[in-house]
Amino acid sequence: MWPYWLILMLPLAGVTFTHRTANQRLAWFLVLVLLGLFIGLRYEVGGDWGTYLRHFDGMRYLKFTDAVSLDDPAYYLINWIVADEGLSIVWVNLFCAAIVCCGVHAFCRNQPLPWLALTVAIPYLLIVVSMGYTRQAAALGLALIGLTALAKDKNRQFVFWVLLGALFHKSAVLLLPIAALAATRNRLWTALWVSVFVAIAVYSLLLESAENMWQNYVVDDYSQASQGGAIRVCMNAVPATLLLLFRDKLFYNDKERRLWTWMAVLSLATLPMLSLSATGVDRVALYFIPLQMFVFSRLPFVARDANNFNTIIYGTVAYYVLVQFVWLNFAVHARYWLPYKNILFQ
């Protein structure tokens, strides 16, 4: 269990000693490399390790055209290339971990307290999601780059990164309408071209498998398999509520205000949907995890003095330390993460 606590200490050191670090870029580079190796070189870690391994082994018997015709073609293309070269699934995991770390870096470095944003990301985004849902983690990493672009009013870049993410996990297309909702100028034109992209993406990526997704996530027993879904949705609801309460103090421009207000509203909208399908809502709620990183890295700035500023920072740190402690010790599926094993030590 100690490796997970060690990896949490990395951004905590940044929170504590950020003003004493002369070379921030080097510090970020080293931390992200360590995180990438920690996530990507894991061995027999994660609830779906066996499933991903079977998918990878199956690539050895497929042609290129068969691999890219599968659902989530970018992910399976990486699998096919790695398998064709006679390498192991670790290389697939390492590639996806690199995508996640790049996305986290782009997003966190755009926040006023980047080390605090990274601390928030560790317990769930980087440990649970990135080491458990490899495909969706890669999609989320690309979505983080897209959200960073969208906050800067770069709508086309947002659409590009989200569509690229949808090639790793088709559910990422659900983020596309946010570009239209967050538009601050030329809203009609933005809504029009985003709608076209959404229609194309839904037809290409979702329509063919929509019936299977409905069956798996809503009808079958698997629809309630995500036992921590309610907890994770509530974890998003906390920053969503805080954002709506302090929305006059958390934003730098109107574009950010519209984007993250809609993210908060949509996140809260997932709460009543839990009774329909805990697993389906949980998979959608993964894309609202950036809300936690955004809000908690800015919340200290609502303080009126330095003492309260530091109190909010360390209160946030304590909260996420508690989240990691509870998950590692009491989560039903935590046993699939314990003990942590790395291919370098096998």
Per domain, the residue ranges of the chain are: 2-345
Rounded Cα distance, 7 and 34, in Å:
8
Question: Which two structure tokens, joined as six digits, stand for 124?
Answer: 């769930």
Top mean pLDDT of 167-171, 192-196, 224-228 is at 167-171
Chain center to CA of 6: 21
Give the pLDDT confidence score for residue 231 in this predicted structure: 81
Rounded Cα distance, 165 and 155, in Å:
15
Residue 291 — very low, low, confident or very high, per pLDDT cuts 50/70/90?
Answer: very high
Give the pLDDT confidence score for residue 184 in this predicted structure: 55
90 and 43 Cβ atoms separated by less than 8 Å: yes
Residue 83 has pLDDT above 90, yes or no: yes
Residue 208 — very low, low, confident or very high, per pLDDT cuts 50/70/90?
Answer: very low
Range 30-37 average pLDDT: 96
Give the pLDDT confidence score for residue 86 in this predicted structure: 92
> What values do phi and psi take at 333, rounded to 5?
-100, 5
Determine how many CB atoms are found less than 10 A away from the CB of residue 64: 11
Residue 56 — very low, low, confident or very high, per pLDDT cuts 50/70/90?
Answer: very high
Give the pLDDT confidence score for residue 236 in this predicted structure: 93
Q: What percent of the chain has pLDDT over 70?
A: 82
Rounded Cα distance, 19 and 241, in Å:
31
Residue 221 has pLDDT above 60, yes or no: no
Question: Which two structure tokens, joined as six digits, stand for 178?
Answer: 């946010």
Range 292-311 average pLDDT: 92
Determine how many CB atoms are found less than 10 A away from the CB of residue 344: 9
- Which of 119, 131, 116, 120 has the alpha carbon at shortest distance from 337? 131
What is the dihedral angle through the alpha carbons of 281, 285, 286, 292, rounded to the nearest 10 degrees?
-160
Instruction: Name the DSSP letter for residue 342.
Output: B
